[in-house]
Amino acid sequence: MDHFNYISGRLFAEGAEVESIAAAAGTPLYVYSKATFLDHLLAIQRAYEVVDPLVCFSVKSCSNVHILAFLAGSGSGFDIVSGGELYRTLQAGAEPGRIVYAGVGKTDAEIIEALKAGIGYFNVESEQEIENLIRLVQLVSPDNPPKAALRVNPDVDPGTHAYTTTGVAGTKFGVSMADADGIFARYGRQSSVNLCGLHVHLGSAGKTVDPYAEAIAKILVLIERLRDKGFRIDTLDLGGGYGADYVTGTAPSAADYASAIVPLVKDRELRLILEPGASIAANAAIVITKVLYCKECHGRKFVIVDAGMNDLIRPPLYDAFHFVWPTCPARGLVPPGRGRFNGLDGTEIVDVVGPVCESADFIGKDRALPPVQRGDLLAVFSAGAYGFTMSSNYNARRRAAEVLVDGDLFSVIRRRETYEDLVAPERL
């Protein structure tokens, strides 16, 4: 699952004691495990190796250039959704031909940057976007037509939160299956853009394999229909959204997904692209936060910590569960796994909340925790995906530092912001 473990009642990230990391770098703090990232990437690469996929890590999930650099060095491509993410991947040394550019609202400037960089694929999401891409190619690189995949909406519900569901009818993403034939008829034979693939993405945090198999079955019917009409379709981008274990043992493994997906696409003369994010990054980080105060009010117990919704917005935004536990629990009470454990002896039910001036500012409600006191450290697990990348300066709070652990060594890979950082862009 990951390389965060309790040894003799104290939490370690790989071989580094977490409390020592926090003493050196302060709190709140993101702590990443390099070994966990690489283990999860390798698991996906091995699970699908029989079809030799292009595995493109989803940069929006975790975008620190130091992390992108070692993922690139381990064979990862990248899934990007903005010009800023393109810049980050190139700064990390990514091979442009292994970059796939998705997103419904690419600007002209962003498209031109990607064309000049020579990225591998554009995932196009509307008829107007295809028209605009053709226009810009003719202006910028008429002799180098890029490859493109049309994102189609298979109307398959993966059963996730409404805000992270993207493959059902009525979302802003992609085009309907019914419209795909007409779009290929109008743009599939022009020379400026090689429209040679289909892209489908169901959403994030999928917990079962069946929706992916259902979506692929629908897409394969469309591919064969388009091929019968003379269009060369050689690429299938299945996007990401594969589940991660926010609660122990609740997500299929890479091998589980592959066992359902590979037989469907094998021998179909298709290059398979995968865009995993959370399944690689989620369990690869924890947030370390310090207890500021404890109080009881109207029958509820609150543990107030120095990490807020600006540091980790997933709980209030998605009602997401992140396991929380002290880094050095009282009486050495090590958790049996990661879940709610509301009946566990030696714990009490509390709300873990942050300092931001919003009632929505919480990390976990009704959580069983060993007794804690002011100054204790808590670890918020599975924070590697959509954690720091979604952080903000709300309440004029400085964004946290990021630390990477490699074995028993750790290094700061993003310094904590200063107050001057908050106002520097406003000094005209």
Domain ranges across the chain: 4-32+282-426, 34-281
Taking 80 as the threshold, does the pLDDT of residue 403 lie above it?
A: yes
pLDDT of residue 252: 92
Spatial CA neighbour of 166 closest among 234, 238, 227, 114: 238
Tell me the CATH number for domain 34-281.
3.20.20.10
Average pLDDT of the segment spanning 406-428 = 97
Q: Nearest 5 degrees, angle CA 115-CA 276-CA 174?
A: 60
Evaluate whether the domain defined by 4-32+282-426 bears CATH number 3.40.50.300. Answer: no
Q: Does residue 390 register a pLDDT over 80?
A: yes
Q: Is residue 12 helix, strand or coil?
A: strand
Query: Given this model, what pLDDT does residue 170 score?
Result: 63
Handedness of CA 279, 272, 113, 65 (dihedral sign): positive
Q: Which of 237, 231, 240, 242 is nearest to 270 (CA)?
A: 237
The mean pLDDT of 272-294, rounded to a whole number, is 97
* Residue 50 burial by Cβ neighbours in a 10 Å radius (0-12, 13-18, 19+): exposed
- Alpha carbon distances (Å) from 252 to 219, 245, 259, 349: 22, 8, 11, 30
Note the pLDDT tens digit of each residue in 118-169: 999 999 999 999 999 999 999 999 999 999 999 998 877 555 545 444 445 5
> What does the pLDDT average to over 216-231?
94
Distance of alpha carbon 344 from alpha carbon 327, whole angstroms: 17
Range with the poorest average pLDDT among 341-350, 395-404, 411-420:
341-350
Retrieve residue 276's tokens. 């995993």
Per-residue pLDDT, 163:
44
Per residue in 228-258, pLDDT (tens digit) is 999 999 999 999 989 899 998 889 999 999 9
171, 209 contact by CB (below 8 A)? no
The DSSP symbol for 333 reads -
Judge if 4-32+282-426 and 34-281 fold alike in CATH terms.
no
Where does the pLDDT of residue 103 fall: very low under 50, low under 70, confident under 90, or very high at 90 and above?
Answer: very high
Question: 298-343, pLDDT tens digit by residue?
Answer: 999 999 999 999 999 999 998 999 999 999 999 889 988 899 888 7
pLDDT tens, 163-208? 444 445 566 778 988 899 999 999 999 999 999 999 998 866 667 8
Spatial neighbors of 245 by CB under 8 A, at least 6 apart, are 1, 251, 282, 283, 338, 382
Q: DSSP assignment, residue 368?
A: E
Contact 97, 72 (CB under 8 A): no
Question: What would the pLDDT profile of 79-95 be if each residue is shown by its tens digit?
Answer: 999 999 999 999 999 99
Look over the chain and give the mean of its residue pLDDT values, rounded to a whole number.
93
pLDDT tens digits for 350-380?
999 999 999 999 999 999 999 999 999 999 9
Question: Is the distance from CB of 312 to CB of 391 less than 8 angstroms?
Answer: yes
Question: In 10 A of CB 32, how many CB atoms?
Answer: 27
Integer Cα distance of 73 and 223 in angstroms = 33
Mean pLDDT for the stretch of residues 254-265: 94
pTM for the predicted model, two decimal places: 0.94
pLDDT at res. 202? 82
What is the DSSP code string of 135-171?
HHHHHH-TTSPPEEEEEEE--------GGGB-SSTTS
> Given this model, what pLDDT does residue 28 score?
98
Let me know if 357 is a catalytic residue.
Answer: yes
For residue 155, what pLDDT is reported? 75
pLDDT at 275 over 80: yes
Question: Looking at residue 158, what is its pLDDT?
Answer: 55
In angstroms, rounded to a whole number, what is the distance separating the alpha carbons of residues 247 and 174?
31
pLDDT of residue 165: 47
Work out whether strand 300-305 and strand 348-353 pair parallel, antiparallel, or are unpaired: parallel
The span from the CA of 401 to the CA of 29, in Å, is 5
Structure tokens at 289: 């936060």
Catalytic residue among 56, 62, 294, 357: 357
